[in-house]
Amino acid sequence: MEKNTRIAIISCSTIAILAVIAAIVIGLLLWKGLQQAIPSITISERREIGLLPTQIQSIRDIGQWEFLSIDDEELVDTMRSGFLFDDHLVCIYRGTLRLGIDMQEIREENISVSDDSLSISLPQVSLLDDRFIDEARTEIFFESGQWSAYAHDELYHRAKEQMKTRALTTENRNRAQQLAEQQVRQLFQAMGYKHVAVTFEEQTRGEQP
């Protein structure tokens, strides 16, 4: 009699445990089904804002940003035939050609910001100042006969074009552009932007470098 009673107790305990397990399984199945029935919503935030007007103005206030300078010296001469003798004028011109970007040309639409990333489109690197000949260092190397101001002015402009041809090479322009990209990226990284993409606007046909 005691033996049968003990078996009954064990059977009841087993049923109770199975009932709890079944309840847990059913509960999990119902929860899974409920999760599938309810649409999931994922919220993500992407900040796309431009620079503040004061920041834009601070960039423009940089003004002419020089990235490469080329010192040049040109010897230019001219000759005039005379009745007995020929007249000669030989001058040496010296100057510094500066390649860079005028940051005043930066517009608000040139810059876009997203979180810690910034993209900027820069104007083409160009000659910052067309008056690059240092007239104080101009030297008359040789002169025979009398020469007018017009003749001296003609030599000046010839020297100017020779300097441009010698200094504004593709190699020098590319070098200046590389330095511009590097230094502009460092500027904005110092302002807190982790990723900075620098591009350059297309050069207009006929535009001087």
Secondary structure in 3-state letters for the chain: CHHHHHHHHHHHHHHHHHHHHHHHHHHHHHHHHHHHHCCCCCCCCCCECCCCHHHHHHHHCCCEEEEEEEEEEEEEEEEECCCCCCEEEEEEEEEEEEEEEEHHHCCHHHEEEECCEEEEEECCCEECCCCCECHHHCEEEEECCCCCHHHHHHHHHHHHHHHHHHHCCHHHHHHHHHHHHHHHHHHHHHCCCCEEEEEECCCCCCCCC
Flag whether 126 is in a domain.
Answer: yes
| Residue 42 pLDDT class (50, 70, 90 cuts) | very low
Flag whether 208 is in a domain.
Answer: no
Flag whether 101 is in a domain.
Answer: yes
Flag whether 4 is in a domain.
Answer: yes
How many distinct structural domains can be found in the chain? 2
- Statement to judge: residues 58 and 110 lie in one domain: yes
The predicted pLDDT at position 7 comes to: 29
Flag whether 207 is in a domain.
Answer: no
Query: Can you tell me the mean pLDDT for 146-155?
Result: 95
State the average pLDDT for the chain: 80
Q: Do the beta carbons of residue 144 and residue 78 sit within 8 Å?
A: no
Flag whether 188 is in a domain.
Answer: yes
Flag whether 129 is in a domain.
Answer: yes
Query: Can you tell me the mean pLDDT for 164-181?
Result: 95
Flag whether 185 is in a domain.
Answer: yes
The predicted pLDDT at position 203 comes to: 65
The predicted pLDDT at position 104 comes to: 92
- Statement to judge: residues 8 and 65 lie in one domain: no
- Statement to judge: residues 179 and 80 lie in one domain: yes
Residue 205 has pLDDT above 90, yes or no: no
What does the angle CA 200 – CA 204 – CA 207 come to, to the nearest 5 degrees?
Answer: 105
- Statement to judge: residues 74 and 122 lie in one domain: yes
- Statement to judge: residues 145 and 194 lie in one domain: yes
- Statement to judge: residues 91 and 12 lie in one domain: no
Domain of 77, in residue numbers:
53-200
- Statement to judge: residues 70 and 168 lie in one domain: yes
- Statement to judge: residues 30 and 62 lie in one domain: no
- Statement to judge: residues 99 and 188 lie in one domain: yes
Query: Can you tell me the mean pLDDT for 48-55?
Result: 66
- Statement to judge: residues 7 and 80 lie in one domain: no
pTM of the model: 0.69
